[in-house]
Amino acid sequence: MTYSESAAIKALSGVTDLTGKRDIVANGRLADLNFQDGFLRAILQIDPKDADAFEPVRQNAEAALKALDGVDRVSVMLTAHKAAPEVSRRPQRQGNPHQAKRPEGYQGDAFVDHVIAVSSAKGGVGKSTVAANLAVALATQGKKIGLLDADIHGPSIPMVMGLTGSRAKTTEVEGRRLIAPFEAYGVKVMSIGFLTEDDGPIVWRGPMVQGAISRMLWDVHWGDLDMLIIDMPPGTGDPQLGLAQDIKPRGAVIVSTPQDLALLDARKGVAMFGKVNIPVLGLVENMSVFVCPDCGSSHDIFGSDGVRQEAEKLGVELLGQAPLHMDIRTGSDNGKPVAASDKNQGQAFHEMAKALAAQLDV
């Protein structure tokens, strides 16, 4: 039989990591897997201090791969990425420790005060719309804000921020070649959509997605920011857990709609961040009420106050409620976030921004 990459990943999924609780694939150790002419090479990413202890794991991985059909030779190597050196120009800020596997040299996020993850365990609740309008609202209130589109498989921030078709360029900073973010509505913006040539799907495995997100944090010249808003991928899988563990955001904002089905997934999101010791700064109720564009009447089509009640149960703050309104939808579609306008519907995002900034004392 011939070699199968899925079989190789499945085999490595049976190799336990040092902790004994999860396998090396689930823990994001697999940095590379390459097969050519019967030779299978795998690279496992580890912490330098664990090099000796990881030798038995390396041998187990090698044995698992040798048993695969179509494989003649196997090499499993360990790569130890050192943590980034201290940035001498400014001391590391308390409460925002970047303890991830970083490249050497200047770090693109060295001067970012707070990293905030905007997340939803369920797609279709308007997470990206909330993230973009929250970022714009913070910027209009005088804060230095960045917005990172971490939804690799469905990047929508370029459209929402009026940057569709933009292609990223690089700049040299202290000896490193970094990606220069775009700026719109006073917000520095980065997305995988700026790095791809067309609108085709990005078909990547979990470790590749996780790595791309981290690189867009470390290898983008964010400059001096009060807050970097990350529009997280929907769900609670490997990309979300890996990003939370590697980057350690200052906190998370969970977006949900009022109905019970969405709230069920919102609870999962809160639980996920709790497991990786990242505080949930608050919940946002999106599409809280439908405002009829013809008569102006309001309808609770998704239920009433569901997120507020859930926030009370979980003991977290309700940052705000945004309606399901035509102005918000058209603003997102046309690249003109409603928070940048003087329309009444943008006020909900400005109230959220004030509540979030108050929590962080920004």
> What pLDDT, in 10s, does the model give residues 275-319?
777 888 999 988 876 767 667 766 566 656 667 788 888 788 889
Query: Most confidently modeled of 81-90, 102-111, 221-230, 259-268?
Result: 221-230
Pairing status of strand 251-256 against strand 280-291:
parallel
> What pLDDT, in 10s, does the model give residues 61-88?
999 999 998 899 898 888 764 433 343 3
The CA distance from 282 to 311, in Å, is 8
Please give the structure tokens belonging to residue 149: 């589109």
Looking at domain 112-360, its CATH class is: alpha beta
> What pLDDT, in 10s, does the model give residues 173-211?
888 889 899 999 999 999 988 876 655 444 444 455 556
For residue 54, count other CB atoms closer than 10 A to its CB: 19
Name the more confident of 11 and 103. Answer: 11
**Residue 261, pLDDT above cutoff 60:** no
| CATH 3.40.50.300 residue window(s) in the chain | 112-360
At 115 the pLDDT is: 92
The CA distance from 231 to 244, in Å, is 12
| Per-residue confidence band for 226, with pLDDT thresholds at 50, 70 and 90 | very high
Residue with tokens 């078909």: 203
Q: What percentage of the chain reaches a pLDDT higher than 90?
A: 28
Which CATH superfamily does the domain covering 5-80 fall into?
Fe-S cluster assembly (FSCA) (3.30.300.130)
The CA distance from 293 to 268, in Å, is 34
310 contacts 256 by C-beta, under 8 angstroms: yes
Strand partners, 182: 189
> What pLDDT, in 10s, does the model give residues 5-29?
878 888 998 999 887 778 888 777 8
| CATH 3.30.300.130 residue window(s) in the chain | 5-80
CA distances from 101 to 31, 57, 79, 166 (A): 12, 19, 11, 29
**Distance from the Cα of residue 198 to its chain's centroid:** 22
Residue with tokens 């990350």: 230
The CA distance from 150 to 157, in Å, is 9
Residue with tokens 């309606």: 323
Please spell the DSSP secondary structure of 171-188, one letter per residue: EEETTEEEEEPEEETTEE
